[in-house]
Amino acid sequence: MTDEIRAVQLRPNSSCENQCAFCSAASEHDKPDMTLDEIQRNLDFFVEHRGCSEVVLSGGEVTCRSDFAELMAMLDAKPLSLVTVISSGLRCTEQT
């Protein structure tokens, strides 16, 4: 395989409920979110054609997505060795 890529960072959404002054994504909060199909196509390309085994999700706040559980299930179905979610953690509770 040529041009193998071990890890890829996906920014599936730019929306965020926080107003962090230091956030580098703050200027992009109005960009449209990627659909699950768009995310799937990106994952397929990097995993199947570039040998990617690690995915980093960032944004905005990726846990704000209404389809966050489906997104994580999509990632779980891939042969990945590591999935990292960059999050403020404010939406995480013992139930989620």
At residue 39, the pLDDT reads: 96
27: helix, strand or coil: helix
Give the model confidence (pLDDT) of 2-48 as tens digits: 688 999 999 999 888 787 777 766 666 678 889 999 999 999 999 99
**CA dist., res. 16 & res. 23, Å (int):** 10
- pTM for the predicted model, two decimal places: 0.83
Confidence label for 84 from pLDDT (cuts 50, 70 and 90): very high
Pick from 17, 67, 15: nearest CA to 38? 67
**CA dist., res. 56 & res. 59, Å (int):** 10
At residue 29, the pLDDT reads: 61
Q: Which ranges constitute the DSSP H helices of 16-95? A: 36-44, 50, 68-76
At residue 26, the pLDDT reads: 62
Q: What is the mean pLDDT of residues 74-83?
A: 96
Tell me whether residue 94 is exposed, middle or buried, using C-beta atoms within 10 angstroms of its C-beta: 0 to 12, 13 to 18, 19 or more.
exposed
Question: What proportion of the chain, given as a percentage, has pLDDT over 70?
Answer: 88
